[in-house]
Chain A
Amino acid sequence: MSLEILGISVLWTFLFGYVIVASIDFGAGFFNAYSLLTNRSHILTKIIKRYLSPVWEVTNVFLIFFFVGIVGFFPLTAFYYGTILLVPVSISLILLGIRGSYYAFESYGSAGHKGYAFAYGVTGLLIPASFSVVFTISEGGFLEIVNGQPVLDFWKLYTSPLSWSIVLLSIAAVLYISAVFLTWYAWKANDLEASNLMRKYALIWALPLIVTAIGIMVEMRNYNELHFNSMMNLWPLFGLSGLLFLTTVWFLWKKQNYGLVVILLIFQFAFAFFAYGVSHYPYLLYPYLTIYDSFTNREMAIALIIAFLLGLCLLLPSLYLIFKLFLFNKDYVTGERKDHA
């Protein structure tokens, strides 16, 4: 395996990690705010809080890891994406800023504050929407090179059906992933009322998810035929993802095997996400930037990979510990233990 492919695979895996954990977090914030507004907070808030509290900060790190890593392995991306993403990513950053700190303000400062909870819920949908613009831009066609500097064509981007479909997909995916996960989490906490409510949300969001996902693949033909064709070459992977999706929905419908459902969900998204990533190869930004012409020097790449391996030795046991203490600890999940400082 070449260093370029190794580098992008590591980064893509971390981005996938971010997509999953952040989706759970974003969706949970939204459901929490929604239940406050519809006076059903007694059903959901506790269970959502219990999951989110110890892990919210960890979520953010996946994102930081990705963008630091991509500039490290592929420094030329800083030049292209750094210049054109100023506005969309700044907006995401401001939303993340409000979200992260208001979460802490609400849960450690004044619990049950409706304004904080509302800010937390709304930003949970706006952040994936604003980040998803990056995927649209990466398809090419939304920027020109003026005097050797890339310039983003905002009007074209904001009037493109493709970018809005991707925005819709990101929101549907966030709500679906989160609802499925929380169905299982609440069920594990023996909270059937919350589990049933989340199951209902999961089933509601399954349809928009699959419609937007298929819609985008069809639309891609008009935007970027090169990418469309390489996606078609990978149809078995996308098909497998679709099958897993159907199985997940089936089990949810039948109220069976919630634990298995979460695993199927992760694999469903993993297949789709990696198939998309592979079909994007070798471009980081159509048609300007590939993983080869943007790659850093060999010495730095090797140093980064060694640092990554050493880092993993530190990280994996710690992640195991936090999951063992909170996510998979029966007493904690059911709310028997209240050991907060």
Chain B
Amino acid sequence: MINESAVFWSRVLMEVTLTFHIIYATIGVGIPLMIFIAQWVGYKKNDEHYILLARRWSRGFVITVAVGVVTGTALGLQMSLLWPNFMHLAGQVIALPLFMETFAFFFEAIFLGIYLYTWDRFDNQKKHMLLLIPVAIGGSMSAVFITTVNSFMNAPQGFDVVNGVLVNVQPLIAMFNPAMPTKVTHVVVSAYMTSAFVLASIAAFRLLKGSNHVYHKKALFLLMKLGIIFSFATALIGDYSGKYLAEYQPEKLAAAEWHFETSAGAPLVLFGILDDGEVKYEITIPYALSILAYSNPFAEVIGLEEFPQDEIPPLYIHYLFNAMVFIGMFLLFVALLYVIGKMRNWLFIHKKWFRWVMVIGGPLSIIAIETGWWLAEVGRQPWILRGLMRTEQGATTSDQVDLMFLLFCILYIVLGIGSVIVLSRMFRSNPIEMEIADREFEKR
């Protein structure tokens, strides 16, 4: 039995929850690493500014973690509440990484609590910094395990189906599915990248809004350097993701690239619109799709024509793919300009307009994360478990999903606004100049 309206609202609610949660989850994975790096640089250079940087970031981090934890709890339970049939099936094969995720998260939560409440407690400050290692590992491992579950949905394996029953279950084979290596690394590294650009955006914003303190300049330079490393790594892994798709999920790649007919030496289509099945106003890069898919300009890439109409994802994911890739490239370019400019004393990087570019880099990187996840999820449709279970088969049959959708929307609005207000008030009422002055005063 399938309840059409329940399917629709379950999809909408899941999408909204994921969209909201992923903002906080992504920075929750990345920021501990940034804090660690700042604190480490601070001890290495014996520079109080970097240590203050770590301290102030961790104060703001608690707020985002709180929202990340509660929305993550909601997301975790919604998997069973909205997709009971899917969880019944998938739980038999992929429960292991889900279970391990709770341990990773437990580990992170404990050490974060300790880290936050033991500033100045140890005689040797470096001991305190070491507490961040389990926090950062716990956060990143959470992402690894959860993304492993998601990759299983894209490339299920590790079991046999005999008369509709799952047999020969091999939990580790299920975990290490073909989608897992590229997806996991892409998610983790892009979380580091996003965190760097979000924090850089704040520093650039402070510099624009009157504060000319060297503290913000140090932060910006450090973060832009990290931004280069992580956005380059993200792009590189993204390329491998394309090769994975070509091999294992060709319909997803073909839909994202508007590649309709199987052909060798396939060009890459950028932007454009679809008019009656015709692509118009697009930009075409010859051979680029074949290179993306197989590292070979003459390789044959499977087109959408080879799949039944009811087994291909919606074609609008093309735009999601384009947005993600272009934002990633743009941010890499901005970070490169800033770092090279800083070393060569180019003046324009200190101009107002360039600082504004770095400010919008933060929101843009979040948009890239969102479009990336929408691409991953919508691109898997019509499947919830590719090849095995269609999304509508996995959904609940309950009649109250629409009402729950409304309630959760109100919750997310309240949390979203609340976290922004609290964060901006926290830093506005205690700007860096004041904190440095207070600390000087205390030392005397």
- Taking Cβ atoms with an 8 Å cutoff, the residues of A that contact B are 53-55, 57-58, 60-61, 63-65, 67-69, 71-73, 75-76, 78-87, 89-91, 93-94, 96-105, 108-110, 147-149, 151, 296-297, 299-300, 303-304, 307-308, 311, 314-315, 318-319, 321-322, 325-326, 332, 337, 339-341
Contacts and interface: CB of A to CB of B under 8 A. Distances in A.
Nearest to B96: A303
Given A108-B426, A304-B96, A100 B69 contact: yes
Interface of B: 1, 55, 58-59, 62-63, 65-67, 69-74, 76-78, 80-85, 87-89, 91-93, 95-96, 98-103, 105-107, 109-121, 134, 166-167, 169-172, 396-398, 400-401, 403-404, 407-408, 411, 414-415, 418-419, 422-423, 425-426
Contacts of B70: 60, 96-97, 99-101
A61 B109 contact: yes
A15 to B, nearest CB: 13
B87 A303 contact: no
Main secondary structure of the interface of A (DSSP, over half): helix
A315 B81 contact: no
A105 B63 contact: yes
A54 B73 CA distance: 19
B65 A72 contact: no
Contacts of B167: 297
Contact of B92 (A105, A300, A325): A300
A104 B411 CA distance: 16
A108 B102 contact: no
A340 B58 CA distance: 10
Contact of B80 (A55, A82, A108): A82
A284 to B, nearest CB: 13
Contacts of B105: 61, 64
22 contacts: A53-B113, A57-B113, A60-B69, A68-B101, A75-B87, A79-B84, A79-B85, A84-B398, A86-B398, A91-B407, A98-B415, A101-B415, A101-B418, A103-B66, A105-B66, A109-B423, A149-B1, A149-B397, A304-B99, A315-B110, A325-B114, A325-B118
Contact of A65 (B78, B106, B115, B411): B106
A58 to B, nearest CB: 5
Contact of A54 (B83, B113, B422): B113
A110 B63 contact: no
A340 B117 contact: yes
B422 A109 contact: yes
B404 A90 contact: yes
A322 B425 contact: no
Nearest to B71: A97
Given A58-B106, A87-B404, A339-B121, A75 B426 contact: no
A94 B167 CA distance: 37
A78 B170 contact: no
Question: 4 tightest A-B contacts by CB?
Answer: A82-B84, A104-B66, A72-B95, A75-B91
Contact of B116 (A54, A72, A81): A54
A94 to B, nearest CB: 5
A308 B99 CA distance: 8
Contacts of B418: 101-102, 105
A307 B96 contact: yes
B77 A93 contact: yes
Contacts of B120: 339
A341 B396 CA distance: 44
Contacts of B401: 86
Nearest to A106: B422
Nearest to B17: A93
B106 A315 contact: yes
Given A58-B113, A71-B80, A82 B426 contact: no
A84 B169 CA distance: 28
A86 B116 contact: no
A71 B78 CA distance: 12
A96 to B, nearest CB: 6
B169 to A, nearest CB: 5
Contacts of B112: 57
A108 B117 contact: no
Contacts of B71: 97
Contacts of A69: 99, 102
Contacts of A55: 113
A339 B91 CA distance: 43
Given A97-B73, A101-B419, 8 more contacts: A58-B106, A68-B98, A75-B92, A78-B91, A94-B407, A100-B66, A151-B398, A341-B119
